[in-house]
Amino acid sequence: MKIVNNRLVAEATTEKISQYQSPNKGGLIVPEYLIIHYTAGRSAESSVATFMNPAEKKSAHLVIGRDGSIHQMMDFTRKAWHAGVSHWGALDGLNSYSIGIELDNPGKLTKVNGKYVAWFGKAYPESDVLEAQHKNQTHKAFWHTYTEAQLEACIAVSKVLVKKYGLKDILGHDDIAPDRKEDPGPAFPMASFKAHVMGRDDLALPMYEVVKSLVNVRKGPGLDYEVITQLQKGATVTFLDAQNGWFKVQLNGDHPEGLGWIHNTLIAKKQL
């Protein structure tokens, strides 16, 4: 994909891009940052409808569906209403300095009678749920995970945006409004996402080697999470994110579990 006149244009048949003109917008801006959100909504379509409704008085530049579809709501040089009361460094009101991407995701879930339920009543399967502690909080909670197609689309469009507008950094809504916002939350792999977008490919992601025998790989960042597999000394993993001394890693080789958490004292950075 590419940007023409501050609008996304598909360059491949696999790139699904829809264009809209949201009435919920301000004046022209010179964007400096990219802000990642989750919609906390029912679907990408419902979020687009919200951003097209003048009565809602909210919007973002992009909505990315769970199938990887991209919905552009306004030009990237037009102020969207996504950040609200926000601060970063010496800047106040990040709407005036940023491009906002909303990922279709209900956000925090509540466990009710063995089901994981969003605020609007929809239940999600356990396979799509991560139990983790938000970086700005002191307790664990349940979070809906993002899809591979969604993250791949977000990486692709973010690379184009960073290059086109010379953006300085990528931030979460929970970075610029930590006292009131939780998105994109711990299910979003911010560290590896930044590594992908800000000029590092897969091979540049840190590789670690297991330094102990039979190291437990857990479902979440803590000893109270269940063990999903064990790794032998010398096995390698790819770093994705960190939380409270635990590393979220991609399990290399033939591991159906795919992702897991290992305490950082049990692995060491591999010298390539």
Residue 239 Cα distances to 109, 159, 190, angstroms: 26, 20, 12
Catalytic residue of the set 102, 152, 209, 257:
102
| Angle subtended at Cα 103 by Cα 52 and Cα 81, rounded to the nearest 5 degrees | 45
Amino acid of residue 103? L
Residue 15: active-site member: no
Q: Which helix (H) or strand (E) holds 269?
A: strand 267-269
Q: Tell me the CA distances in angstroms from 54 to 23, 48, 51, 57, 58, one per residue in order.
A: 6, 12, 8, 6, 8
Rg (CA), the chain: 19
Residue with tokens 């590896």, as numbered in its chain = 192
What DSSP assignment string belongs to 2-28?
Answer: EEETTEEE--STT--EEE---S-EEEE
116, containing H or E segment: strand 115-117
CA 231/CA 266 separation, integer angstroms: 10
State the Cα angle at 270 between 245 and 206, rounded to 5°: 60
Instruction: Look at residue 249 and give its three-state secondary structure.
Output: strand
Q: Which residues are catalytic?
A: 102
